Amino acid sequence: MFSALKPLPTDPILGLMAAFKQDTNPNKIDLGVGVYKDEQGNTPVLRAVKKAEAFRLENETTKSYIGLAGNLDFCQKMESLLLGEHKALLANRVRTAQTPGGTGSLRVAAEFIKRCNTNATVWVTTPTWANHISLFEAAGLGVKEYPYYDYENKDLLFNEMIDTLKSVSKGDVVLIHACCHNPSGMDLNAEQWEVFAELAKDVGFTVLVDIAYQGFGTSLDADAAGLRLLADTVDELIICSSCSKNFGLYRERVGACSIISENAATADVSNSVLLSVVRSIYSMPPAHGADIVATILGSNELTQEWHQELDEMRGRINEFRGLIKTRLAEAGVEQDFSFIERQHGMFSFLGLNKEQIERLKTEYAIYMVGSSRVNVAGISHGNMDYFVNAMVNVLK
């Protein structure tokens, strides 16, 4: 049976990771992989996480199954983190399932959408996180793209985006990134969120908000402001969240899928479908990571420590966004890199061509994906001079 299979190409980012690992250049820099890195190039376990883990080791009393929705305390705390004290929560219109990471949440959402409308198309931004497309297609949904990033002017194609979305069908879903757009770093401003939310209400499509970087852009609340505005405006919403980045829990696979319905009764119906979807995919999520998050958010002391660590991570990313712009300008690079400072989160497109990307890799051991998307957190005080010098040479 297996002889019918054809080998598939490796994911370009995994290939890049392997090539980086093998590179013996002592100055090599990895700007490809989408994980936060500190000044030393490490992705450390957060202190608040370590403490919550120690507490859990001491206090865990059973390894018996948790339910389909996972840790209910975690689910409730995630709802507050995402929505604050939103009226949808007060009206008991939100239901949440803990999921294996943000990816698990998106897959659950895809199956949920399919149960609502087998013929639904999911509209994603051009460009978007590549896995969005494969994930929705794998669930048997149609995928279409709407204009989002203007590579030429390093800005949003907002008017084009709105024009395209005006013609989306009522039974379709529009996926939008809440903050720190992956891969462009380009987010909607407050006014644009308002226009988008009104459009969703008027046209009647359903919005899926992917929030994988809450706290990495401006602040925990500011990064969820667009999401909350949407929840103010429309009756139904799907929210896919991830704790991979903001809690640094990548490999523990922690995320959540939250469904906001029109009223408490329809929310119960949505919940029954949500849980049935979960049951048919993985039955129940893993316990460890969600327990850590619930422990942190349940303790003032640990929450404060987590906020500090999140501020440090965001501070470092934003510091280097500013530094890249300034240092390239000081080094005499003619191209304008000020867009890097206007964007949010870990990613930006440097706007380099294939030849320049290849030269950075072969001559300088600086690795980035073929679109010239870089992870800003890969730059440090230690490698900044080397990076600037390499950029000056390939941009000449």
Judged by the rule CB under 6 A, the positions of this chain that interact with ligand PMP are 34, 101-103, 129, 177, 182, 210, 212, 242, 244, 250, 255
Active site includes 223?
no
Q: Which two tokens stand for residue 286?
A: 């893993």
Provide the minimum distance between the beta carbon of 242 and ligand PMP in the complex, in angstroms, as a whole number. 3
Q: Of 156 and 388, which has the nearer Cβ to ligand PMP?
A: 156
Active site includes 210?
yes
Q: Of 148 and 364, which has the nearer Cβ to ligand PMP?
A: 148
Catalytic pick among 30, 77, 129, 291: 129
Cα–Cα distance between 239 and 105 in angstroms, integer?
9
Residues 96/258, Cβ–Cβ less than 8 Å = yes
Cα–Cα distance between 366 and 384 in angstroms, integer?
12
Residue closest to 347 by CA, chosen among 166, 141, 185, 130: 185
Provide the minimum distance between the beta carbon of 129 and ligand PMP in the complex, in angstroms, as a whole number. 4
Q: Of 151 and 250, which has the nearer Cβ to ligand PMP?
A: 250
Q: Of 209 and 260, which has the nearer Cβ to ligand PMP?
A: 209
User: How big is the chain by its Cα radius of gyration, in Å?
Assistant: 21
Helix (H, G, I), strand (E, B) or coil at 331: coil
Provide the minimum distance between the beta carbon of 386 and ligand PMP in the complex, in angstroms, as a whole number. 26
Q: How far is CA 251 from CA 66, 105, 254, 312, in A?
A: 19, 15, 8, 21
Residue closest to 197 by CA, chosen among 150, 233, 148: 233
Phi, psi of 367 (to 5 degrees): -105, 130
Q: Of 187 and 210, which has the nearer Cβ to ligand PMP?
A: 210
Catalytic pick among 210, 223, 291, 306: 210
Catalytic pick among 28, 154, 245, 325: 245
Provide the minimum distance between the beta carbon of 301 and ligand PMP in the complex, in angstroms, as a whole number. 26
Provide the minimum distance between the beta carbon of 274 and ligand PMP in the complex, in angstroms, as a whole number. 18
Active site includes 193?
no
Provide the minimum distance between the beta carbon of 41 and ligand PMP in the complex, in angstroms, as a whole number. 19
Surface-to-core class of residue 225, CB atoms within 10 Å of its CB (0-12 exposed, 13-18 middle, 19+ buried)? middle
Cα–Cα distance between 344 and 347 in angstroms, integer?
7
Cα–Cα distance between 13 and 32 in angstroms, integer?
7
Q: Of 128 and 206, which has the nearer Cβ to ligand PMP?
A: 128
How many residues are recorded in the chain? Answer: 396
Catalytic machinery residues: 129, 210, 245
